[in-house]
Each structure stands twice: as C-alpha cells, then as structure tokens.
Amino acid sequence: MSGHDRKFLLGLYERMLLIREFEDTVKFLFLEGTMPGTIHQCQGQEATAVGVCAALGADDWITSTFRGHGHALAKGLTPQEMMDELFGAETGCCKGRGGSMHMGNMSKGMVPGIAIVAGGIPLAAGMALSFKMENKPHVVASFFGDGAIAEGAFHEGVNMAAIWDLPLILVCENNLYGASTHVDLVMKNSRISERAKSYGFRGETVDGNDVLAVYEASQRAVADCRAGKGPVLLELLTYRRTGHSRRDPCHYQPKDEREAWAQRDPIERFREQAHITAEEHELINTRIQKMLADCVERAKVAPHPSVSGLAEYVFVEAPPRSPALNVQNPVVSAAGSTRRLGIAEALREGIAEEMAADPRVFCIGEDIGVPGGWGGAFTVTLGLEKKYSERMINTPIAELGFFGLATGAAMMGMRPIADVQYGDFLFLASDQIINNAAKLRYMSGGTISVPLVMRAPVGATGRGSQHAQNMERYFTGVPGLKVVAPSNAYDAKGLLKAALRDGNPVLMFEHKLLYGSKGARAEGGAVDASSDVPAEDYIVPLGKAAVRREGKNVTVLAWLLMVHYAMQTADELDAEVIDVRSLNPIDWDTIGASVRKTGRAVIVEEGPITGGVGAEIAAGIAERWPSVRVTRVASPDVPVPFTPVLENAYRPDANRISAGVRQILEESHG
C-alpha cells in the first residue's frame, strides 16, 4: 500500500462497497416488483469501474454499456439520481428517458450507456478525435465486455483510434462470459489484450479484481494518452457474481469456477490488502446503508414525467446561426450577385464557407482528404484538402466506424459532415445513425445534442442493385433524425448550411444524376439541376417545401430527380409542382394549401412503391384532408436492375408521371 495515503485507500473501498450495496438493493427492489424494466448488474466487478475512474480527471470522459451502474457510481453520479432514474422519475439522471441500460450524466463526464454491444467504442473514438482536433488534454475510457471483441464496431473504432493515435483507453471487462457463452467457445485466442499488437499499440492484461492493479494500469494508460501515445487496450480479468440479466440463474457457470472466483472477491481482497479495520468498515457501511435507504424512499415518491412531455428532447430547438438571407428562393441584395452552379459545386462552396466561419466543422469519410485524390466518389469535396487538410479526415473503408466517430465528435461540440460514397452503404452505418445519433438526445433527457450532417448519393444510374438504391424510405421514420433531399444547387447549398447550424443529426440525400453543373442526361429528357446561387450567406430552412410551379388541376409532389420530370409535364396539365425536399419533418402547411386548392395529389418517388416515403405522404394527406384524391407513381417492387432498358423502365419518368396525372384527372371527372 506504499505511495497511497489512507484517505485515498478508504475512498476506493467506500466506492466499491457502495457499488455492491447499490446493486444488491436494486436487485431486491426488482425481485419484489417495485421497479420497472430490467437490470444487468455488476456484483463482483467493482474493482474495474473504481480502479479506472480513480485514474481519470474531472474533465475526462467514459462511455459505458448496459451493465453500467458501477461505472456511473465510480464516475461520480449520485445514488439518488441513479435510483430516481431506475424508478423512471423526472429527477433521474436522464429524466426517466434512459433507465438502467442508459445510465449517464454528461455534466459528470459519462455518456449514457450504449446498450448495443460494442456500439460505444466508435463513439468514444470520436470523442477522443474531437479532443485531439481541439488540442484538449482530455482522455476517454470506453468500457465494454469480452463479447464486444467479435463485433465489427470494435475493429472499426479501434483501428481508427490507432491510425490517429487518439487519447482513448479501451477497457475490456473480461468476465469470461458473453451472456451465457464462455469466451473459449467464441475466441481462438482468448487473451484479448494481444489484439492491440495487430493495430500497432499497447495492450495489457490486468487482474481486474485487484483495484490497485487496475488503478495503476489505468494511470499508465492515461499518461500514454495525454502524451499522444494512445490508444491503450486494458483487459481486466474479472467475474460477475450475478446473471447476465435479472432472470438469469447462472446455471452455465460451473460451481467450482464460481467458488474459485468468490475467493478473489475484489472488496474482501482489498479490505485485507488495505487493512480496513472493523470500525472503518462499520462506519462506511452504516453511512452507505442509510444513504441507500433514503434514496429508495425518495425515489418511490419522486415525480414522474408528465405524459404531455412525451415528445420532449427529441430535437434541439435552438435557432441556427443567423445568416444574411433566410429565404425559399434566391433573393440578393443590391450589392450581391448570383452564379450559375451545379449541385456538386454548390455543396463544395457551402462546405468551404462553413469551414471558414466555424472551426468546429470538419469532413470525415472515404477518399475525401487525399491530395490529388477524388474529392469523394462524386468530387464534391475536390480541392478542399488543399486549404483544410487537417479538417478533411480520410478514413478506412469503415462506414459503421466513421459514422460512429462523427457522432461522438458531434456530442463533444464539433460539427462533422460524414460523407458516404453511396447511399447503399448507409446500411453498414445504420446502427450508429439510428441507435446513437438519433436517440442520444432523447435518452439523455435532453442533455446531449448531436449536430451531425450526413451526406449520401442515391439514385439509379447504371450501377446495379447495390449502388443505385433510393434510401430515403429507411430513414424518414427514425425519431430524432431529420432528412432532406435537394433537387437543385441553390437548395443543396442552403440546406447543407441550415443542417450544419441546426444542432441535430441531419441526413442529406443527393441524386447522382443531379451533381453536374450543366445537367445530366436521363431517359425522358435533359435534366439541369444547376441554379443561380447567391454569393451572400443564406440558408434554406429545414422542414419547408417549395412551390416550383403554381397550377389548378392537380398537385404533383416530388423530390430529387423526380422534381425535374414533374416539371416537364406541368405546363401541359396545369399541375402545381411541390418540391417536398424536407422528408422529415414534412411541410404539411405547404402541401395542405396546395391539395386543398386542387383536390388531387400525385406523389412521385424513385424507389419501390411499397413502404415508400410516398406512402407516408399519402397517408398524411388522407388523414388531414380526406376529400383529396391521391395516387402514387413510383418504381416497381424489384431491386434496381443494371441493363439500361430495365433501369429506364424501373425509374419513373415524365411519361409515367403524365399518365398518373391524366388518370387521376379522368377518375375525378367520372
């Protein structure tokens, strides 16, 4: 015990005992049916949480898992705010929105627990990336279990942390079981720390039931990270004395194994090592028991959230940074000017302007920051690496990983733009988008914001089924995620700027056939998505549709490429064309004003008709204005074909839109 004063040693002991007693109290409350939900407890693993967190500073951070009660108490959360959270109270650390599996408090350096196995690792790497980019001396410790090693999120997050020497401590609590499966059944090499070598950094295996050994190893890891030598992988060998979750009787754990680990109980071991006297133990234990008893009584009567607050904390409501213009269509002051730009040019200009205005803005993705490289798959970021080399972060082919890093960096206040080469690859990143970026604000009780922009090219362009899908349908129904789809250069730049200033995760879909400044050729005629773009600063507000043409007979609702095909038919049929452009939230005011006037709506969508965005818009119109006749023009329910003759038959064009409009006009006239 040399080198550690008595106060420090007693502090470690009290924190471990608090975790044990808190968990035992919670277990009893769940067994008697007092608490809602479920629990994943950590009795037997107290030394890992306490040892690691004791080595961290007040400005350092942790990410946790569904088994996070011990981590929370070790990082400084109070038993009261945690007990309140477990009871679902508004006074809980996440205002009752997180519960047991999402315990955390951002003001105390703990991100709410990530319940998806390994899902917190890319987030933590992104947090560490933000600290490095802003030259902050902070460290992130990411807790995860041995089961996380098999996940792709582990590899992708760890690999990028290694590439950029990020200040990240990877804390593997190896308790020998992933749920009920022993590590030896799922790993050829079960010495997890050895994996660090393959990534090029240091790993260390530590007795996770020896709190001082964990503390000293964590101190070394923190020192390495602060010196720019991170990351570090700590494998902490430990054992949980309870089941995976509250109804697990642990029959898969052999009796002799349980007994052997019971002899290595971290609290009893440390009590002997530190020579904790009976009087000291009794004083500490009495204090803890009284505290917990009081916590339970207060939690039982703590106020619960009002039902009227169900939809609170989904989005940040703060207004964006004030621009010179805030308009739907180009308006330029007398001193201003417009230029004819294509979508790719307009996006590039918008990114450059936002980078110049805000040092927190950076781009992350594949093939975007290579000198002499592509500038992304469609040249949108071409040349930006010359001026902003440190903010054009080129990644491995690892969509799950770099979308997770972008989310973690956004949580720390950065303004990332995550660039996926093809929208089809969003499926790889969907866990980080849906479970983390979109949900963290809500499940933290409104204490987290994720100001993240994600860009994704879509559309059938002769590339076959896995590089040509329209992905809008899969993301418009995700609570906490905004979705936009510009059809022209003016909107593309304005929506991008609005998204970067919005404070929420925004997914921007861009059609591949609309990038070119002089228009792109597609079946059905020439399509020109270029437009006059002001030199002045402006935004296109999120959640607003645009009337592209006024008409009397029918309302045609479209977005992306389909807007241009709709315009080709509008004059002949006197159709009012609405560019929906904001797919979540949808501008029902603009849509309603039009369909109430015309009494008819044709919704045009590139993508399979079943379950599409058009179906949601049709349902919304039917619910709000039942007298309006609605029909849809969309792609058939088949994967996108390659051969041009079939691809052109797959994607709606001007002729099919015209036919759909004529049909609804004929039906309404009887």
pLDDT of residue 2: 61
Burial label, 101 (beta-carbon count in 10 A; 0-12, 13-18, 19+): buried
Instruction: Give tens-digit pLDDT for 504-544.
Output: 999 999 999 999 854 444 444 557 888 899 999 999 999 99
Position 331 pLDDT exceeds 60: no
- pLDDT band at residue 326 under the 50/70/90 scheme: very low
Separation of alpha carbons 102 and 87, rounded Å: 13
Separation of alpha carbons 94 and 91, rounded Å: 8
CATH class of the region 6-201+209-300:
alpha beta
pLDDT of residue 526: 58
What is residue 106's DSSP assignment?
G
Separation of alpha carbons 505 and 119, rounded Å: 17
Separation of alpha carbons 145 and 177, rounded Å: 9
User: Of 40, 89, 48, 83, which Cα lies nearest the Cα of 65?
Assistant: 40
Q: Tokens in use for 611?
A: 């379950």
∠ CA(457), CA(458), CA(462), 5° rounding? 115
Position 330 pLDDT exceeds 60: no
pLDDT of residue 307: 95
Q: What is the mean pLDDT of the chain?
A: 93
CA 559 to chain centre: 25
pLDDT of residue 319: 59
* Cβ 229 vs Cβ 166: under 8 Å: no
Position 670 pLDDT exceeds 90: no
- pLDDT band at residue 246 under the 50/70/90 scheme: confident
Packing angle, helices 120-133 and 152-163, rounded to 10: 10
pLDDT of residue 368: 93
Position 555 pLDDT exceeds 70: yes
| pTM: predicted TM-score of the whole model, two decimal places | 0.94
Give me the mean pLDDT over the 231-257 stretch. 91
Q: Output b/e per residue, 480-504; b: 16+ Cβ within 10 A.
A: bbbbbbbbbbbbbbbbbbbbbbbbb
Whether residue 85 lies in the annotated active site: no
pLDDT of residue 414: 97
Q: Does domain 340-539 have CATH number 3.40.50.970?
A: yes
Q: Out of 399, 576, 606, 647, pick the active-site residue.
A: 399
Instruction: Quote the strand ranges of 530-655, DSSP E.
Output: 531-534, 538-539, 546-549, 554-558, 575-579, 582-584, 600-608, 629-635
pLDDT of residue 325: 43
SS (H, E, C) 44-90: CCHHHHHHHHHCCCCCCEEECCCCCHHHHHHHCCCHHHHHHHHCCCC
Position 3 pLDDT exceeds 90: no
Q: Out of 467, 511, 576, 605, pick the active-site residue.
A: 467
Position 17 pLDDT exceeds 70: yes
Q: Tokens in use for 429?
A: 């990143």
CATH class of the region 546-668:
alpha beta
Position 275 pLDDT exceeds 50: yes
- pLDDT band at residue 216 under the 50/70/90 scheme: very high
pLDDT of residue 318: 63
Separation of alpha carbons 458 and 510, rounded Å: 6
Instruction: Give tens-digit pLDDT for 442-466.
Output: 999 999 999 999 999 999 888 888 9
User: Of 469, 422, 478, which Cα lies nearest the Cα of 450?
Assistant: 478
Burial label, 532 (beta-carbon count in 10 A; 0-12, 13-18, 19+): middle
pLDDT of residue 477: 96
On the CB side of 200, CA atoms within 13 Å amount to: 9
SS (H, E, C) 532-555: EEECCCEECCCCCCEEEECCCCEE
Position 328 pLDDT exceeds 80: no
pLDDT of residue 111: 98
Position 574 pLDDT exceeds 90: yes
What is residue 29's DSSP assignment?
H
Is 340-539's fold the same as 546-668's? yes
Whether residue 399 lies in the annotated active site: yes
Instruction: Give tens-digit pLDDT for 160-204.
Output: 999 999 999 999 999 999 999 999 999 999 999 999 999 999 999
Q: Residue ranges of the domains in the chain?
A: 6-201+209-300, 340-539, 546-668
For residue 369, report the phi and psi dihedrals to the nearest 5 degrees: -120, 25
Instruction: Give tens-digit pLDDT for 22-55.
Output: 999 999 999 888 999 999 999 999 999 999 999 9
Separation of alpha carbons 123 and 140, rounded Å: 10
